[in-house]
Amino acid sequence: MTDADAAAAGTVELADGLTVNRMGFGAMRLCAPGIVGAPDDEDHAWTVARRALDHGVDFVDTADSYGPGVSERLLREAEVPDDAVVATKAGLLRNTETEWLAHGDPDYLQNQALVSRDRLGVDSIDLLQLHRPDPDTPFADSVHALAELVDEGVVDHVGLSNVTAEQLDRARDIVDIVAVQNRYNVGYRDEQPVLDACEDAGIAFLPWYPIATGDLDTVAEPLDTVAAAHDATRYQVALAWLLHTSPVTLPIPGTSDLDHLADNVAAAGIELTDDERRRLDEAA
């Protein structure tokens, strides 16, 4: 029987006729450590991806640079695109296990979208996000390339990642933007202006690094206090806080561990009190 754990968080509308549960899954960590290469056990990676769907997750985030190409391929082999909205990204290159190089050249973005479509095994990509603005390419040129992919039927919807509120406004003059993915968590609020802009416009906000890869020491005391009251972990409370922060947030925690996956999705069922929310709001 399919669980509906993720549905406890409610839903967010990405576009007309496209509504998803507000607890997603980030598929970056299906790859090998360092996010370069394939995992030792691909069967396990497929199981994790499918189990996320069993928990009610119907939004999965990936990127061409994860692997590179490995995460997209694993999702196709696990048949995830058949049962969930899959968002991928283009605009970053990998040349080591530590370097992520922005590359927003329009020809590259358009070529990469075709490659990603093939890897995912879909007729069109549900959501393609510009992974990061490229300082060597005019931002508008990169966004126009994504808009052309929509016109050509390669991509259904366009999103952005790692952008400012001003860049979001500029992009919206070119193409409909349905999602923005920026770093944001209970201990890091620098992107609040972008979240505010998304909320005002009704655009889904995907906070990456939602539990800071387990490092939330700067806000540990209030997190642990609230966690004890809910028989939860500090990381579950951090995810619950993101869901309570705005109706447009769509966390995408990633993991390659089945137990962690279950814990992440279960966080959707944590109801914070007004006092708990206030304590966490004031923590950073």
Report pLDDT for 248: 98
* pLDDT band per the 50, 70, 90 thresholds, residue 95: confident
Give long-range contacts, CB 8 A cutoff, 24+ apart: 101-104: 102/131, 102/132, 102/133, 102/134, 102/135, 102/136, 103/134, 103/137, 104/130, 104/132, 104/133, 104/134, 104/136, 104/137, 104/139, 104/141, 104/142
Residue 1 pLDDT more than 50? no
Query: pTM for the complete prediction?
Result: 0.96
pLDDT in tens, 14-46: 999 999 999 999 999 999 999 999 999 999 999
Residue 162 pLDDT more than 70? yes
* pLDDT band per the 50, 70, 90 thresholds, residue 220: very high
Task: Calculate mean pLDDT across residues 187-200.
Answer: 97
Its sign, for the CA torsion 161, 162, 165, 168, is negative
Instruction: Look up 66 and say whether it is catalytic.
Output: yes
From the list 180, 198, 191, 284, the residue with the least C-alpha distance to 241 is 284
Residue 131 pLDDT more than 80? yes
Domain borders along the chain are: 5-215+246-257
Cis before 207 (ω within 30): no
Residue 3 pLDDT more than 60? no
The DSSP 8-state label assigned to residue 103 in this structure reads -
* CATH 3.20.20.100, domain 5-215+246-257, yes or no: yes
Q: Which of 66, 108, 188, 209 is catalytic?
A: 66
Q: How many angstroms from the chain centroid is the CA of residue 145? A: 21
Report residue 59: phi and psi, to 5°. Answer: -135, 120
3-state secondary structure of 112: helix
Tell me the CA end-to-end span of the chain in Å, nearest whole number.
Answer: 40
From the list 47, 232, 203, 44, the residue with the least C-alpha distance to 127 is 203
